[in-house]
Each structure stands twice: as C-alpha cells, then as structure tokens.
C-alpha cells in the first residue's frame, strides 16, 4: 500500500559554505509520499527565514525508508522558571547530576563545546569522564529519521497544558528518541538561535525538564550534549541516532510499524 510508505526528509543550510561554513539551520522529519511537497516546503521556509542569518547554501534530501518505524511515547514535560542564566545553568547541572552524570563530565563537556563553537549536531560524551566519544573536532552527530504527527502533538499539548509550539515539538521528538536508547543517561540542550533562551535537560527517569533561561538573548552559542554510559558501543549508538526511524506517538507503548516497501 503506497500510503504506508514513509520518507525521511532532511535539510541543512549554512552561510560562507566555502570558508568557515556557519551553521544556519537544520531540520528533519518523516513524511508520507503525498505530503512530500509540503514537507520540503516547510523545511525550505525554516532555512530561509532564520534569525542566525541568510543561508547561501542549502541541501534537502529525500529518502524512502525501508526499515520498520519504531513508535515511542514523548517524554513528559515540566517547566522550571529561573530568573538568570547563572541560575538556569546551575539547575541544569543539578538535574544532570541527579540523572547520573558526574560534575567532572558536565564541566569538561561544556569546556569542549565552548572551544568548538558553531556546532551543527550533538556531542556524545562519556557521562563519567566527560570524554568526547563522537569524532573529535567534528560538528557533531545529527539525529535524523524522526517525526511526530502534528495532530497527535496538538492533542497531547492540550492534555499537558503546554503551548503548541513547533520548536517544542521538534525538541521533544528529538529528546524522546535520544532518551529511548538505553545508553543515554541524559541530554543537555539550548538553542543556537539568538532570540530563544529556554532549553532543557532530558532523561528517561525525569522526563523533559524545560529551564526558562539557559543563555542570554543575542547569544548564538547553542548546546546539544548526549551523556552516555561508559560501555556504549559508539558505532551502534550513532547508527540508532541517524538511521533508526522513530515516530513519536502520545498513546504508544513502544510498538513497531511494519510498513510495506
């Protein structure tokens, strides 16, 4: 049945592509064939109307999926209201420690992040030592092949009494996929968009914990760090993040959709 065939759609856009290649925007979603035009258009708009600047390079890739899609539920959200960045980061550190990450690992990971700057993906870090486990000096691993039906998201937001915001949809989808892997202890994230200062700590044990100030307005330094157990198989972990199709569904209990190919 054609309507059961799914496609992965990915976008990345940057500025000064030939020189320092400043990351402007990225996006990934799952789409049915009859929604492909809309999906490509959604990601094009995301790239072209970006507060990080005007892109001079954009790539959009569409791939038919042949693997079964795993359905998982979204992490449960909570919001912590803080008044300053210092309070926000101190709280984030506390939440990460509660999830099992060491203070040393957090400090070392953040020091590496600030040295690199301008990442396009996430850093994978040993939750005990803080050693970076994905390719050193790379711009990070991009989590792809994930989606969340808009209606299901909207319905879930009403139940949870949180705003129906597309940025939150994308962030919770990503955090839920990442947390679902048994090697992930916790994630720390804030946006690289200069105007958006709310970030989160996510983990299977504590859910999606939003923190209202994790950076100052105008700051373009974003953050995405996955803290993993020391015994992680980094190759398999990478494959899960980039290749395993995952659909977030509020009522799901972890079943697999077998789609015809």
- In the complex, the residues that contact Mg ion under the rule CB under 5 A are 192-193
| 114/112 Cα distance (integer angstroms) | 6
Strands (E), the chain: 6-15, 22-32, 57-64, 69-72, 77-80, 123-126, 146-148, 184-190, 199-203, 207-211, 223-228, 246-248, 256-257
Candidates 153, 200, 237, 240; binder of ligand WAQ (CB under 6 A) is: 200
Does 72 engage in binding with ligand WAQ (CB under 6 A)?
A: no
Our CB check for ligand WAQ shows the closer of 2 and 137 to be: 137
Does 184 engage in binding with ligand WAQ (CB under 6 A)?
A: no
Our CB check for ligand WAQ shows the closer of 110 and 255 to be: 110
Does 124 engage in binding with ligand WAQ (CB under 6 A)?
A: no
What region, left, alpha or beta, does residue 182 occupy, with left being phi > 0 and alpha being psi -120 to 50 degrees? alpha
Our CB check for ligand WAQ shows the closer of 1 and 210 to be: 210
Q: Does residue 3 sit in helix, strand or coil?
A: helix
Tell how strand 223-228 and strand 123-126 pair up: parallel
What part of residues 212-251 is at the interface with ligand WAQ (CB under 6 A)? 222, 224
Burial class (CB in 10 A: 0-12, 13-18, 19+), 137: exposed
Our CB check for ligand WAQ shows the closer of 171 and 248 to be: 171
Does 119 engage in binding with ligand WAQ (CB under 6 A)?
A: yes
Instruction: Tell me which of Mg ion, ligand WAQ, none is bound by residue 126, counting a contact when its beta carbon lies within the kind-specific cut-off of 5 to 8 angstroms.
Output: none
The answer to whether 200 and 175 have CB atoms below 8 angstroms apart is yes
Q: Does residue 122 sit in helix, strand or coil?
A: strand
In the block, which residue shows the tokens 């970006």? 50
Candidates 12, 210, 213, 215; binder of ligand WAQ (CB under 6 A) is: 210
Q: How many residues bind ligand WAQ (CB under 6 A)?
A: 24
Candidates 92, 124, 179, 189; binder of ligand WAQ (CB under 6 A) is: 189
Least Å distance, CB 255 to ligand WAQ, is 24
Our CB check for ligand WAQ shows the closer of 80 and 142 to be: 142
Our CB check for Mg ion shows the closer of 193 and 219 to be: 193
Does 46 engage in binding with ligand WAQ (CB under 6 A)?
A: no
In the block, which residue shows the tokens 């492909």? 36
Burial class (CB in 10 A: 0-12, 13-18, 19+), 1: exposed
Does 176 engage in binding with ligand WAQ (CB under 6 A)?
A: no
Q: Provide the 10 A C-beta neighbour count for residue 251.
A: 9
Our CB check for ligand WAQ shows the closer of 101 and 143 to be: 143
The continuous run of DSSP H or E covering 167 comes out as helix 166-180
Does 201 engage in binding with ligand WAQ (CB under 6 A)?
A: no
Rg (CA), the chain: 18
Interface residue list for ligand WAQ (CB under 6 A): 26, 28, 119-122, 140, 142-143, 167-168, 171, 174, 189, 191-193, 196, 198-200, 210, 222, 224
């Amino acid at each position: 049945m054609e309507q059961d065939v799914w496609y992965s759609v990915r976008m990345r856009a940057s500025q000064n592509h030939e020189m320092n290649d400043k990351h402007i925007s990225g996006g990934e979603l799952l789409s049915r064939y009859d929604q492909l035009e809309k999906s490509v258009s959604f990601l094009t708009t995301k790239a072209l109307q970006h507060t990080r600047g005007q892109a001079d390079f954009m790539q959009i890739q569409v791939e038919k999926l042949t693997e079964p899609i795993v359905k998982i539920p979204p992490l449960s959200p909570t919001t912590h209201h803080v008044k300053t960045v210092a309070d926000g980061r101190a709280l984030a550190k506390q939440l990460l420690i509660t999830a099992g990450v060491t203070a040393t690992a957090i400090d070392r990971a953040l020091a590496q992040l600030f040295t690199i700057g301008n990442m396009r993906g996430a850093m994978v870090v040993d939750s005990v030592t803080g050693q970076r486990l994905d390719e050193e000096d790379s711009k990070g691993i991009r989590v792809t092949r994930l989606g969340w039906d808009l209606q299901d998201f909207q319905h879930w937001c009403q139940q949870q009494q949180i705003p129906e915001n597309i940025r939150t949809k994308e962030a919770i989808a990503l955090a839920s996929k990442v947390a679902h892997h048994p090697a992930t202890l916790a994630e720390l994230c804030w946006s690289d968009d200069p105007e958006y200062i709310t970030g989160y700590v996510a983990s299977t044990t504590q859910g999606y914990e939003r923190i209202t100030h994790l950076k100052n307005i105008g700051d373009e330094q974003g953050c995405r760090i996955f803290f993993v157990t020391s015994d992680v198989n980094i190759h398999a972990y990478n494959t899960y993040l980039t290749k395993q199709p995952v659909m977030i569904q509020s009522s799901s209990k972890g079943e697999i959709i077998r789609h015809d190919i």
